[in-house]
Structure 1
Amino acid sequence: MQYGALSHIDVSYDKKHLILQDLNLEFNKGELLSLLGPSGCGKTTTLRVIAGLIETNAGTFTLDGVDMTHIPVHKRDFGLVFQSYALFPHLTVFDNIAFGLKQRKCSTQETVEKVKSMMEICGISGYEKRFPKQLSGGQRQRVALARALVIEPKLLLLDEPLSNLDAQLRVQMRSTIKRIQQELGITTVFVTHDQEECFSISDRVAIMDKGRIEQCDTPQVIYANPACEMIARFVGFKNFFPISTAERIGLSVPQERMNALLWCIRPEKIDLVDLQSAMCIGTVEVRTYLGESYQYEVKTELGTMIVASSLHPPKAVGEQVGLNIAPEHVVFLDR
């Protein structure tokens, strides 16, 4: 069910160069929607428009049937978690989390009950009297999350909240965020540049480029059927060839994709096979060890193909190899 919508949003900092251009985005009640894209694509600007931190040049933002376009940030009743956590260093964990409740003139008893409940949900019970400098990065992130959620916001906005954490803690915290979001059923907009992080926790993903949304769908659909070359490259496709080369290796272009310009495939979807049964033959030019598999750069008649394979023993540089491409793993792109 549609809960919020950005409609025909334009944003320009200098009234000449548009950061967002005719941007349209809808999100549903209770879902976690991520904004994903390369640096400078406009995803943080979009989040700041939703938060009320940036004025638009054109367009509207509605939430639950209410026009929020000109409502100031302090009256939007949203929860915000930033990359820097933005905790008050002179306040204890308890007082940091309770800050929004005190601003709303909640009673002492209600404040204590809500803060303790949210600390338990976020896994930081027992840290009430500590100060931010006494906490790890993951603990500070949980405090920031608890502070944003304790006011029971209409919308939770997360701007690159995990980027300051190490790799192992990022995995742990993204699971925590998803668990809490599902447990509370809170509508969430999450900004990240990390595709793996985004796909692991999102109900839907809006991929942005140059101030526009190029594709908005479930992670599964985007992963299997990217809408354009930019998205395909962003989500892990590394082999792109002109459509004219498809028939040379026996690939048939579907009738509905006859206008396609390119075909592409992921490295792990290309099979290494015997030369006799190969659709294409090439020579290994580079071999890279990836841990569970090897990545090969294979020179073929079509150009260099990037192939990932866990076959052992691994192929050697200079070795001739056969390649097979299953049609169901090929994506045809018209832009």
Structure 2
Amino acid sequence: MSGAKKGIRCLGCMMMIIVLLLGMMAVAMPETAEAKNEDIRDAYEAEIKFKTFSAEDGIPVWDGINSVTTKPAGADITENVCTVTTPEALRWAMTQYSTNSIAKIVIAADMDMGGREDAVPPKWEPVTLTGAISIEGQRDENCGYYGGREYPTIYNLNVETASGHTGFIASTSGDVNIKNFYFDSAKIRTTSSSGVQGVAIIGYAGNGLIMENIGVENSLSKTAFYGAAGLIGKSAETTNGIRVTNCYAKKVYVTASQCSGGLLGPISGGEFNNCYAIDGALITTGGGHSGGFVSCSGGYTMNNCFTNNVVYGTAYTGGFVGYPEGKKQFSIIAGPRAV
């Protein structure tokens, strides 16, 4: 009996040791790359805050009304040019330009789109631009009117959707020309985890888009799926493509599951000159194909473009380009840090 008891005691001790070892293994299991990147993502997202202004700053604040059919105060039309000095006027001109035969919208003031940390901010509904239009900032040669900048700034843009192309502009088609203004402290987000989408200042860029001197600073582009970027989320699959010159993203955090980039998402065709994405971060938690400057696809030419963004990925992730496909051409590219 004593031998049997000893055997039982030994077996019990062995079982206890196994249980303890399993417990230690569970504690010591390394965190997955996906889980680690989710923690990193949350920390970066928390850094982006809407900017606070006082009444003395004199920057007009958007009233939050997306449906505007009657020309509001702050919109002045001369021939086919509409000069806007309020967010309401800008919203009206962008959504009603075809009806009112407007060929050019000139932004002539800084604007506050109402994003706030201490209150529920108004949500800008992404505008679809169908047909030829030019949107440009009015230059201040003395840099005294726009808070020290040469061109106006759109502050505190808050865009939230459940799906689809998401941004200040949802999508473009036809000859659309956008130039000479900035975005600061924007939050562009969608909760969609499926479907076709682009999440950026311009969600989806159609053939014929020209962008020049557009800057994005201190901002966030976020999706649970793909196509997030600082400037353009996705572009048309066309050989003619788009043309982007002297545009940048500075301290823009891009978070997604896959196929995203610091300045550009999946881009098919186009020419990009003198553009950069700096002091920001790209964090993906899923399938990869993401880069510090551009995501994937091909058929484009990039000249004198660079990035120093920090990049966190799980697969097919690059410091500059995530996953180049098809024909493409690069020149003078400076590399970032990849993690």
| Larger helix percent | 1
* Fold-level similarity (TM above 0.5): no
TM-score by length of 1: 0.30
TM-score by length of 2: 0.30
